[in-house]
Amino acid sequence: MGAYDQAKRLSRYYHYLEEAKHHLSNQSVIKMKELGLKSLALSSLFKEKDWEGLTEILAILNENTKRDDIPLFIQALQEKRKRLSNVQDEVTRQTEVLDERLKELEKMEMETNELIKQIEQQNEFLKQYPRNVQEFLIKHLGYAKFILKLNLDSKTEYKLVLARRIDSAWQKNLKKKGIIQYDAFHYLWFILDLDRFVEEYEKRINRKNPLPTEWNYEKEKNRNSKYIIPENAEYRLPTGLSVDLLSNLTDIKQRKRLLEKEREEIQKKIKQLKKKSPQSFMEAVEVSNLLSTHEIKRHGELQDKALKWLYSKDYIVASEIILPNGKRADVIGYNQDGHIIIVEVKVSKSDYMRDEKWRTYLNYCDEFYFLLDFEDDKVIADFRNEGTGLLTEIKKTLAVTLPDIKIHRATERDTVIYSIGKFLSKKYVFGY
């Protein structure tokens, strides 16, 4: 290296040192002095004025750190931040969903209270009857709404009707006594005399051996074997004509229960996401979720071998390519026929076990391989069952241990090939 280049490096180093004195702690400045010119490998962070990143990396470097290893620490920092961002995005999404559910619950709460109030207002007459009678009436009666035309005016009138079937023998008896009447035009059973209806109900239930009042499908089917008996006790009333005093309330309560259950599930998910971060949920991602510096170095070595292996097979190759689905492929290449291969590098079993995204790569390649830096019979058995390809390191090259026999193909071939070409062009033009 010439004296001029050395002078430029020294000038840049002292410039960074001055910046460090203004923005970093004394401990970080001391670390920079210990590293000397090796700290120039952190220039990308100085250019971006990433004082937080510099503080974090300088805290774990020492005078024995090799200059070539420093970029690995920067990569580890970027990985950590990316993972943290993914966790934060997922929690934000889950929280937004939870907020929406809470709003829906609050709205349902209001609807429920309003309906209860409405029932109470509309049914003041029920208070004259015992509690068990009230419950039966609320369950079985409804209102039919009629618009009466009076010359140029109109008047809304409500009439009590059966909203739910009752025991057919009792129903015939009530009809015979003139207590209820069937309207064939509106398909409704009108309550003509509510007090007598209640009297008949109390007579049946207060007997020594009570007589049935509720609709019982099995019993009705045996009783009227010649006819088709509806299973559902509720009448199919014309839309807008009748309001079942109970079913609306039951429906709201049921929907509310479902939403509360969904809210609990979302809260569980948020708790699980929070467990992924040890020190502070919003400040760091669990260390076990990150590759160690050694693993990152080994990961790079295996990526390099995979690139050379594909290149030797006449593939145009690149690494760290962003696929159309936003995921990043470790190594990818295509040949003259447009055949695309993706290689996913795994440096440890834990690295493999926590990867939940590899199946999403299958839509963007014609062959998919894992390249492992560990041996595990169960994992290899999984590959055999899945039909996924497996590469093994042999001295300075790679060999196919298991071929990829899983059925898949690149569905966005042109887009993937263009992405590889653009990435390689950028690297050639700008050097990165």
335 domain-assigned: yes
- Give the pLDDT band of residue 89 (cuts 50, 70, 90): confident
Provide the 3-class DSSP secondary structure of residue 137.
Answer: helix
Where is pLDDT greater, at 186 or 247? 186
Q: Are 158 and 141 in contact (CB under 8 A)?
A: no
Domain carrying residue 60: 1-65
Verify that 328 and 391 share a domain, yes or no.
Answer: yes
CA–CA gap between residue 71 and residue 61 (Å, rounded): 12
Does pTM surpass 0.85?
Answer: no
**CB-CB neighbours of 75 under 10 Å:** 17
pLDDT in tens, 147-170: 777 666 777 777 888 888 999 999
Please report the pLDDT score of residue 247 as a whole number.
Answer: 58
Verify that 324 and 422 share a domain, yes or no.
Answer: yes
Task: Give me the CATH number covering residue 348.
Answer: 3.40.1350.10
pLDDT in tens, 372-422: 988 888 888 888 888 889 999 887 789 999 999 999 999 999 999 999 999
Provide the 3-class DSSP secondary structure of residue 282.
Answer: coil
CA–CA gap between residue 38 and residue 41 (Å, rounded): 6
Identify the burial level of 414 via C-beta atoms within 10 angstroms of its C-beta, where 0-12 means exposed, 13-18 middle and 19 or more buried.
exposed
Highest mean pLDDT of the ranges 33-47, 112-126, 331-345: 331-345
432 domain-assigned: yes
Please report the pLDDT score of residue 169 as a whole number.
Answer: 92
Residue 73 CA from chain centroid, whole number: 32
297 domain-assigned: yes
- Tell me the average pLDDT of the chain: 80
Final residue of a structural domain among 30, 65, 100: 65
Q: What is the largest CA-CA distance in the chain?
A: 118
379 domain-assigned: yes
Verify that 297 and 238 share a domain, yes or no.
Answer: no
What is the total count of domains within the chain?
3
Please report the pLDDT score of residue 136 as a whole number.
Answer: 87
Please report the pLDDT score of residue 284 as a whole number.
Answer: 32
- Comparing CA positions, the residue from 305, 382, 369, 365 lying closest to residue 343 is 369
- Give the pLDDT band of residue 249 (cuts 50, 70, 90): low
Verify that 159 and 240 share a domain, yes or no.
Answer: yes
Verify that 48 and 149 share a domain, yes or no.
Answer: no
- Give the pLDDT band of residue 339 (cuts 50, 70, 90): very high
Where is pLDDT greater, at 129 or 203? 203
Q: 38 pLDDT exceeds 60?
A: yes
